[in-house]
Amino acid sequence: MPVWLDNFLWTYQNLVHALGINGLLALSMYVVLAVGQLSLGQAAFMGLGAYSSALLTLKLDLPFALVLPVSCVAPVLFALAIGTPTLRLSGVYLAIATIGLGEVLRAVYLNVDWLGGALGLSGIPLRAEFWMIYGLLGAAILVLWLVGRSGIGRAMEAVREDATAAQVMGINLARTRLGALLASAVLAGLAGALGAHSSSFIGPNEYGFEPAVTILSFALLGGIATPLAPVLGAFILTLLPELLRGFSDLRLVFNGVIIVLAVLFLPEGLFPLRMRRRAA
Amino acid sequence: MLAQQLVNGVLLGAGYALFALGFTLMFGVLRVINLTYGFYFSAGAFVALFLTRDFGFSIWTALPLAAMAAGAMAVVLDWLLLARLRRRGAPELASLMVTLGGVLALYAASTAILGPDIRRLPPGLIAGAPFELFGLRVTMAQLLILLASLVLVGALVWLLHGTRLGLAIRAMAEKPDAAGLMGIDTGRIAALVSFVSGCLAGAGGVLIGLNFNAIHPYMGETMMLRGFVVVIVGGLGDIRGALIAGLALGVVEVLTAGYVDSGLKEAVAFAILVAVLWTRPSGLFGRPEMRRA
């Protein structure tokens, strides 16, 4: 690694890590939006990944290479428990159940002693490296791009645009949607584990309502035309508050307003370039 | 002991039922999961706080004024955020996302203006000491919740089933297009339903704020979890179901806090929500004619 890059990464380490992690979270939102569903559990899944990975590291002192994949287990189990019944119904049920999940987990983290209570978990060793975060982000973009171009990607788009027509064409709606939700839980769980191991402290309020909505604003600003679009949205919304210091109170107001404006006036997002696919 | 807890639970549940009623009414008529709903709960509590603390109003006048102020906010926000999408016939998730963004902006802005700390209503607003009634201890705040819930639910049932306006509302819940063709001004009905729902949320905020004596900007957000549980268990859009489920949730919470652990009452409520989604997604009292996706 050249010296200037090393210096740069050292100085801006927190920001560089946050950019990559938010990129992963934006992708986890993208996967669900790509099948026309709305999950507001991304922050909750991230919290499950963060808490389980932190406990594995702190209590059992497992190596990070093992902690990282295992931290996806809890988010996937919760996604199965909530997604299986709701994805057969109209989209509002998944949205309601996943917002509820975030609120409940916050209350559980606050009230259960061995999860640290209001103080959270601290002293987590800094084991998330730059190359892990960006390697995973790059791999996730690549996989989602390839999937998007494949038959599965076509099926996902069909389910999003017209569920009834997709079903008539023989696409299994529930399985396509559940697959997307599970992939999204895995991405969010990874992001949570990486986040926990790059900040040394996690607390119950970091995975509640506000981050859940913020993650949605990443994907809505960028749009969901390609996997790169939501990641760019996340980069913009993570860098903007750094550039506009002094307005930190209004950062969340801004994120909320972005969602309103994006839905009302910019339904395709900022980057509506579509993926190229070979003709069928 | 058990009888006392059941009474506490029913009285708390009356407040939950009142809150969830407006939420389910909005969904039933306007077909929108309106997440700004929790904000009207906070707004009602804050208006009552300002009226009683800074202007010396009694609770009897502050309660209806705060409820109506919350209702007025609901009308304005519905017009700002949702009227356009409704005319366009946008999918229900689009309107859900708009209200989600809107409510985050509202909470964050009100926290920036008012500060995040917990406020208390002025002491002596309502007799604080509990008194004995048939061998059970109740507070004035609990009695006020019960009284206000009975009055407001009665008024709502009368509005929906005893007036021509109610007929128009029910027609719009059934089929908005047909209702429009029959000469019903659907925009006006949407405003009316928003107002009534906002009033219910605002009144709920004042009463629950009075009961726990803790008012802060995000109180509506934590309350929304109860709203979700009540409307899913009772069936989305089902008013009778919301009443029963609200009372039941109050009892379940008080019993969980009394016999298990007060830190787990949210988790128990959510476990019930998930169990209902697995077994009876149209609600415990719902007919199985679901609108499948």
Closest CB to B225 among A84, A90, A100 = A100
Q: Distance from A66 to chain B by nearest Cα, in Å? A: 29
Give chain A positions within 8 Å (CB) of B290.
89-90
What is the distance in angstroms between the Cα of B277 and the nearest Cα belonging to chain A? 6
B182 phi, psi to nearest 5 deg:
-80, 5
Say which amino acid occupies A155: A
Search chain A and give the residue with CA nearest B232. Answer: A93
SS3 B103: helix
A107–B102 C-beta distance less than 8 A: no
Smallest Cβ–Cβ distance between A249 and the set B112, B269, B290 belongs to B112
Q: Nearest 5°: CA angle at B189, between B187 and B195?
A: 105
Q: Which residues pair with B229 in a beta bridge?
A: none
Q: What is the DSSP letter of A58?
A: I
Tokens linked to B201: 């949320």
Whether pLDDT at A67 is above 60: yes
Beta strands in chain A (DSSP E): 121-122, 201-202
AA identity, residue A178: L
Chain A residues within an 8 Å CB radius of B270: 100-101, 103-104
- Closest by Cβ to B267, choosing from A82, A84, A107: A107
Domain span at A73: 17-208
Question: Nearest CA of chain B to the CA of A270: how many Å?
Answer: 17
Smallest CA–CA distance from A117 into chain B, residue: B263
Between residues A184 and A87, which one has the greater pLDDT?
A184
Of B96, B232, B261, the CB nearest to A38: B96
Would you state the structure tokens that stand for residue B67, as one six-digit string?
């409820």
pLDDT in tens, A105-130: 988 888 888 888 888 888 888 887 88
* pLDDT tens series, chain B, 293 aa: 788 889 889 989 999 999 999 999 998 888 888 999 999 999 999 999 999 888 888 888 999 999 999 999 999 999 999 888 888 877 888 888 899 999 999 999 998 888 888 888 887 777 667 777 777 788 888 888 889 999 998 999 999 898 888 888 888 888 878 888 888 888 888 899 999 999 999 999 999 988 888 888 888 888 998 999 999 999 888 888 899 999 999 999 999 988 888 888 888 989 999 999 898 888 788 665 544 43
Name the DSSP class of A142. Answer: H
Please name the residues between 177 and 216 in chain B that touch chain A, using a CB distance below 8 Å: none
Residue A235, in any domain of the structure = no
Q: Do B101 and A213 touch (CB under 8 A)?
A: yes
CA A94 to chain centre: 16
DSSP annotation string for B200-224: HHHHHHHHHHHHHT-B-TTHHHHHH
Distance from CA of B269 to the nearest CA of A (A): 9
Taking only the tens place, the pLDDT of each residue in A230-262 is 999 999 888 887 776 666 678 888 888 888 888
A8 found inside a domain? no
Does B225 lie at the interface with A, CB-CB under 8 angstroms?
A: yes
A226 versus B90: which is more confidently predicted? A226
Torsion angle (degrees, nearest 10) of CA A280, A29, A240, A251: 150
> Cβ contact (<8 Å) for A82 and B261?
no
From the candidates B96, B104, B223, which should be mutated to test the interface with A, based on the most A CB atoms within 10 A? B104
- Is B42 or A13 the better-scoring residue by pLDDT? B42
Give the integer Cα–Cα distance in Å for B196 and B193: 5
Mind telling me how many Å the CA of A92 is from chain B's nearest CA?
7
What's the pLDDT at B246? 93
Per-residue pLDDT at B292: 42
Q: B residues 137-156 near A, CB within 8 Å?
A: none
Query: Within 13 Å, how many C-alpha atoms sit on residue A91's CB side?
Result: 22
Q: Are A105 and A120 in contact (CB under 8 A)?
A: no
- Please give the residue of chain B at the shortest CA–CA distance from A96: B228
Q: What is the pLDDT of residues A144-173, one digit of tens each?
A: 999 988 888 888 888 888 888 888 888 888
Alpha-carbon distance of A161 to A236, in angstroms, equals: 27
Strand A201-202 relative to strand B131-133: parallel, antiparallel, unpaired? unpaired
Positive or negative, the CA dihedral A153, A177, B175, B94 is negative
Mean pLDDT across A176-188? 94
The answer to whether B83 contacts chain A (CB < 8 Å) is no
Q: Are A90 and B292 within 8 A, CB to CB?
A: yes
Q: Which H or E run includes B137?
A: strand B136-138
* Total domains, chain A: 1
The topology under which CATH files domain B2-279 is ABC transporter involved in vitamin B12 uptake, BtuC (1.10.3470)
Residues 6+ positions from B254 with CB-CB distance below 8 Å = B5, B6, B8, B9, B12
Nearest of B267, B125, B126 to residue A110 by alpha carbon? B267
HSE of B277, CA atoms in CB hemisphere, 13 A: 30
Give pLDDT, residue A1: 67
Q: What's CA A83's distance to the chain center, in Å?
A: 16
Torsion (CA) B48, B54, B58, B60 in degrees, nearest 10: -20
Which chain B residue is nearest to residue A101, measuring alpha carbons? Answer: B270
Chain A residues near residue B97 by CB distance under 8 angstroms: 38, 216, 220, 259, 263
- Please give the pLDDT value at position B293: 38
For A38-56, what is each residue's pLDDT tens digit?
Answer: 999 999 999 999 999 999 9
- Rounded Cα distance between B241 and B229, Å, is 11
Rounded to an integer, the average pLDDT of A198-221 is 88
pLDDT score at B252: 94
Return d(Cα B265, Cα B271) in angstroms, integer: 10
Chain B residues with beta carbon closer than 8 angstroms to that of A254? 105
